[in-house]
Structure 1
Amino acid sequence: MVGLGEFLSILCAMLWAFAVICYRKAGDHMPASTMNLFKISLTMLLMIPTVILTDGATPPEMPLQHWALMLFSGLVGIMLADLFYLRALQMIGAGLTGLTGSLYSPFVVVLSFFYLGERLNAWQVMGMALVMIGVLVISYRRKSLTIEHPPIKGFVFAALGVFFTALGIVIIKPISNEIPFFWIITIRSIGGLIAMVLFNILMKKSLNVFKVFKAKGRYWLIVGALLGQYLSTMVWVAGYKYTSASVASILNETASIFILFLGWLILKEEVNQRKILGAVISILGVLCVLYFSNGGFH
């Protein structure tokens, strides 16, 4: 049977895919820095009662270096990663930004190899390759790219977003089993919020998150923040907690399949044979990873 970690990793991909659609709609009406500060603030507000009701109001006892690592994980994995990703969405759109998602599992696999000593077997590597090929097939475009912003800059921003997301989760994997689950989310959110506030101050950007409620696209941002920052983050970290980082990262890439479906359903984007072929290839890759991660389906 599919393990809990694998199930949560795929569920995370579904939630994140819907959030990406929401962020793309909201990004037409507000800057990335405003969007990021709002969604981190909303997550922090929701996590306070969540952690009190689940893990208690008393912070976990852990070494100072663990606190520093968790806060740093929030800085790179929430503040930097989402800021770069949201800006990339505005610059080159969801389809092309999604293309860089194929870098996620290679980033995690490489980081896990050096930092955690994790290894993939040959079949899991093949599954990762199939997922990446499927994502590339789905994201391929024949039309020329927009020149309103240099495309290369948008791709670099998206790649940085993916890399910092991978880095933020891999570095806390060794201590994730020692810390209550909801405190992991809360401490990371604190790190992300502090970093985002300092960034906006240094860049002389607005700290008023309430103006979002008057902006067009506010409902898209609120729904995206609830699903993509609050719920998705919890499911995402839980996936890494209950399976290997390498396997979880590969399954997270199925978000591209869900983005394809939701883009057709909500944004009325075209679904052609090439995209369907890419989705099928990715699904085969996911099944390959799942099968050889759990000794077969039972």
Structure 2
Amino acid sequence: MSIGDICAVASALFWSIAVILMRVSGLKVPPLPLTFFKIWVAVLLLMGTLLWERSPWVLDLTGQDYLRLVVSAVLGITLADTMIASALNRLGASLQALADCVYSPVIAFVGLVMFGEYLSAWEMMGGALVVSGVFVGATRTVEIKKPNDLWAGILLAAGAHIIMAIGVLMVRDLF
């Protein structure tokens, strides 16, 4: 097994653990304070990693590049993560995991809109199957007692993925 395979499996495992922890903490902590707590944990871990690796604290980027990084972080880490936490409170962990499947098709769509990048017919059919599967799975649930929570959660999750995609793609050429 290569290091890439190990990292891919570890990433999925840690994401699953994070979603479960967010769900449990979301029962007691509202989405915005939870997001700010996660941001501070991430900043502390990043600072520790930079110290450990003896990496530079300031990168050789222009002011405009730093502005793009800040806007990307505000969109992806603050706004989108708060929306994900709110969706998770409405949908639960299993439906949220299903809603997360739209991330790849959303990245492809935002790439088309922002950069004119086209997909092949097979790739578009795959994305359509993923999105339709999410909607079929979402409508066949008994976990959600109020239909408004289901659709609000789906819209929050989809909106979060669109915002995340914009945040990711706006800085993709910086590194």
Aligned to 1:78: 77
What is the CA distance between 1:174 and its match in structure 2? 1.4
Aligned to 2:86: 87
Structure 2: any 5+ residue segments left out of the alignment? none
92-101 vs 7-16, greater mean Cα deviation? 7-16
Q: Are 2:100 and 1:101 equivalent residues in the alignment?
A: yes
What is the CA distance between 1:158 and its match in structure 2? 1.8
Distance in 2 separating the partners of 1:46 and 1:59: 16
Distance in 2 separating the partners of 1:43 and 1:157: 23
What is the CA distance between 1:136 and its match in structure 2? 5.0
Answer yes or no: is the 8 Å Cα contact 2:103–2:161 preserved in 1: yes
- Judged with a 3 Å threshold, the aligned counterparts in structure 2 of structure 1 residues 144 and 27 are, in CA distance, closer, same or farther, namely closer
What is the CA distance between 1:113 and its match in structure 2? 1.9
Let me know the Cα RMSD of the aligned residues: 3.1
1:124-273 equivalence runs, <5 A: 124-132=123-131, 135=134, 139-143=138-142, 145-147=144-146, 150-176=149-175
Q: What secondary structure sits across from 1:173 in the alignment?
A: coil
What is the CA distance between 1:48 and its match in structure 2? 0.6
How many residues are aligned here? 175
Q: Match for 1:106: what amino acid? A: P
Distance in 1 separating the partners of 2:61 and 2:20: 38
Q: What secondary structure sits across from 1:174 in the alignment?
A: coil
Structure 1: any 5+ residue segments left out of the alignment? 177-298
What is the CA distance between 1:29 and its match in structure 2? 1.7
Q: Match for 1:158: what amino acid? A: A
Distance in 2 separating the partners of 1:157 and 1:147: 16
Q: What secondary structure sits across from 1:76 in the alignment?
A: helix
Distance in 2 separating the partners of 1:170 and 1:135: 23
Answer yes or no: is the 8 Å Cα contact 2:31–2:85 preserved in 1: yes
- Judged with a 3 Å threshold, the aligned counterparts in structure 2 of structure 1 residues 11 and 118 are, in CA distance, closer, same or farther, namely farther
- Judged with a 3 Å threshold, the aligned counterparts in structure 2 of structure 1 residues 160 and 40 are, in CA distance, closer, same or farther, namely same
- Judged with a 3 Å threshold, the aligned counterparts in structure 2 of structure 1 residues 138 and 157 are, in CA distance, closer, same or farther, namely closer
Per the normalisation by structure 2, the TM-score is 0.80
Per the normalisation by structure 1, the TM-score is 0.50
Distance in 1 separating the partners of 2:156 and 2:27: 18
- Judged with a 3 Å threshold, the aligned counterparts in structure 2 of structure 1 residues 51 and 175 are, in CA distance, closer, same or farther, namely same
What is the CA distance between 1:28 and its match in structure 2? 1.4
Q: Match for 1:113: what amino acid? A: L
CA displacement 1:7-27 (0-9 Å, x = unmatched) = 756653332222111211121
- Judged with a 3 Å threshold, the aligned counterparts in structure 2 of structure 1 residues 11 and 172 are, in CA distance, closer, same or farther, namely farther
Aligned residues: percent identity?
28
Larger RCO of the pair (alpha carbons < 8 Å, separation 6+): 1
